[in-house]
Amino acid sequence: MSKNQSTPATSALFSPAVLGSVALSNRIVMAPLTRSRAAPGNVPQALNARYYAQRASAGVIISEATQITPQGQGYPKTPGIHSQEQIAGWQGVTQAVHARGGKIFLQLWHVGRISHPLTLADGGLPVAPSALQPAGEIYTEQGMKPFVTPRALETHEIPALVEDFRRAAANAKAAGFDGVEIHAANGYLIDQFLRDGTNQRNDGYGGSIANRARLLREVTEAVLTVWEPGRVGVRLSPVNPFNDIVDSAPQATFEAVTEQLNAYRLAYLHVVEDRSTKFDFQRLRQIFNGAYIANGDYDHDSAIAAVDGERADFIAFGKLFIANPDLPARLRRDGPYNAPRSDSFYAGGAEGYDDYPALETAGAEA
């Protein structure tokens, strides 16, 4: 080991830090993870509270994606934040996390075209910036179904959509969250507006990068009427092709989007990285005036190297947090790690959800 190389004992990854205006115990973030375990009515339940409380040693938890409106639901049994029952269900989650000393943000989500009439409460078509059918299939209560062609949102409908985000942000505050994250990634509605492969509008929300980013700006401004900037973040995924999405010039698009977000002095930018591509993620870190959360198959060594090398301020972990409720403790000693059981990621019920052992109970099997 070189004299200047960090160890778990000295790495800033494990040191207290401030994210925006929220004090954290470490720089380890639990990434948002859809798990399809909500109760009927898309209401968080006691099972969800146990799951999140088990993972409260993260510096901060970012909740699973949570639909802001019934129109924004893409998959069965995903939670919402638009009814009083859902607010009450989330209160059970935030109270459980806070009782363990943790912090938790809610991720605000509208899936746009990544849905199906069988999932939507009104049985109508999904909405999108443009009427372009995604390739592939989506899971419904009746099994896998081909995507349908969505309905393009009318310009006059967009203010009501923005209001849905504002109301959901207010509901998140009522539910006791420490902040919110605007989901503008992974091929969902805001990302569909950002990318020219899915946005072919000819109004003020299409064409130029500034126009395509208008919805994100308006949503951010609406959320900031409820939350202070130090408790709001945005998630982007510049080169993630998930949900059949693409942009012809992602570097230019997302550098410009990041520059525009600087006007709001947000707590953080959360970026889904694919380091096998030519995209220069460090440009986004250099441009953005808040904290940079990196997400992209980081492990013990690469996370420490990124934070201590000042390539990221915080590291978000996904699958490792599914399988290791006490991940910060395991990262400190670099294992042992429970292996994720992918067949139970979306299976429903407690199995493969809140039954992964912690270090003190794992025994030799861990």
**Domains of the chain by range and CATH?**
12-317 (3.20.20.70)
| pLDDT for position 365 | 38
Cα atoms in the Cβ-side hemisphere of radius 13 Å centred on 111: 30
Q: Hey, what are 21's tokens? A: 């205006």
298 is catalytic: no
Predicted local distance difference test score (pLDDT) of residue 6: 57
Longest CA–CA span in the chain (Å) reads 63
Task: Give pLDDT, residue 10.
Answer: 84
For the chain, residues with pLDDT lower than 70 are 1-9, 361-366
Structure tokens at 315: 């590291």
| pLDDT on residue 360 | 78
The active-site residue, picked from 52, 75, 188, 356, is 188
Pairing mode of beta strands 17-19, 22-24: antiparallel
**pTM for this entry:** 0.96
How confident is the model at residue 7, as a pLDDT?
A: 62
Q: How far is CA 327 from CA 73, 316, 365, in A?
A: 30, 11, 16
Provide the b/e sequence for 205-235 (b: ≥16 CB within 10 Å): bbeebebbbbbbbbbbebbbebbebbbbbbb
